[in-house]
Amino acid sequence: PFEAIICDVDGTLADTERDGHRCAFNAAFAAAGLDWHWDVETYGRLLAVTGGRERVAAFIAEYRPALPPGCEVGVLAERLHRAKSRHYAALLAAGTIGLRPGVLRLLRAARTAGIRLAIATTSSPENVQALLAHAGEPGLADWFEVIAAGDMVAHKKPAPDVYRLVLERLGLGPERCVVLEDSAPGLQAARAAGLEAVLVTVNDYTRGQALTDAALVVDGLGEPGAPVTVLYGRLGE
């Protein structure tokens, strides 16, 4: 029997990328006096690189934008990412990003059934706490026994490290856990950690990705009046 659900955050629990992280990056670029702007489509391509700091560095390497004179790429990426995190926190505090439909219903049902909950994210614990604090359910962050984040491990998704850390902290084997993910790098990370029961709930950025390795791919978790469409997957056949 399954004993735990391990949840990704960005794109899975909430649609944080397009109107959250992306806008926060653009605000950080503007505040630094840079004329860089990540439009919705460009950001979709950049999402192939997981981790905000790594994404900025990859953008500089690929697009070669003009840098402030004498600025080292690693230092600039770090500085921009710190500023971006402040803008992102402000966006969340303003309550602009809620949970995706069906998420709270599922988490509540899991708790009632005695299923343990954990988080495996590429982003920071601070970002997760801020999102959950403004999700409209007091104490929601405390529902999660383990919150494992990108900077707590050597390699970010699609590497399995963050999922391995969660399994270690839960003290469970991968066959005891169900994973909720939204993207190909997340799915790859979970599968590489030996997790087979991966439910992928796609969003506009991830719909077209290679997700055939998932147990099931759905377009959301469903609410009364908003039924789930099963797209494909081993369990959907």
Among 4, 5, 7, 11, binds ligand XBP (CB under 6 A): 11
Q: For ligand XBP, give the closer residue by CB, 41 or 237.
A: 41
Q: Does 124 bind ligand XBP (CB under 6 A)?
A: yes
Between 7 and 26, how does the x/- string for binding to Mg ion read (CB under 5 A)?
-x-xx---------------
Among 167, 182, 198, 205, binds Mg ion (CB under 5 A): 182
* ω into 158 cis (within 30 of 0): yes
The residues near 235 (Cβ < 8 Å, ≥ 6 apart) are 215, 216
Cα–Cα distance, 115 to 101 (Å, whole number): 20
Q: Does 121 bind ligand XBP (CB under 6 A)?
A: yes
Element containing residue 200 per DSSP (H, E): strand 197-201
Q: Which does 161 bind (CB under 5 to 8 A by kind): Mg ion, ligand XBP, none?
A: none
Q: In residues, how long is the chain?
A: 237
Q: Is 39 an annotated catalytic residue? A: no
Kindly indicate which of the ranges 45-53, 69-77, 108-116, 203-211 contains the residues binding ligand XBP, using the contact rule CB under 6 A.
45-53
Q: Does 206 bind ligand XBP (CB under 6 A)?
A: no
Q: What are phi and psi of 68, to 5 degrees?
A: -60, 145
Residue showing the smallest CB distance to Mg ion in the complex: 11
Q: Is 213 an annotated catalytic residue? A: no
Q: What is the dihedral of CA 30, 151, 133, 9, to 10 degrees?
A: 90
- Supply the minimum distance, in Å, between the C-beta of residue 33 and ligand XBP: 21
Q: For ligand XBP, give the closer residue by CB, 41 or 225.
A: 41
Question: What are the distances in angstroms from CA 119 to CA 83, 116, 164?
Answer: 24, 11, 12
What are the residue numbers of the active site?
8, 10
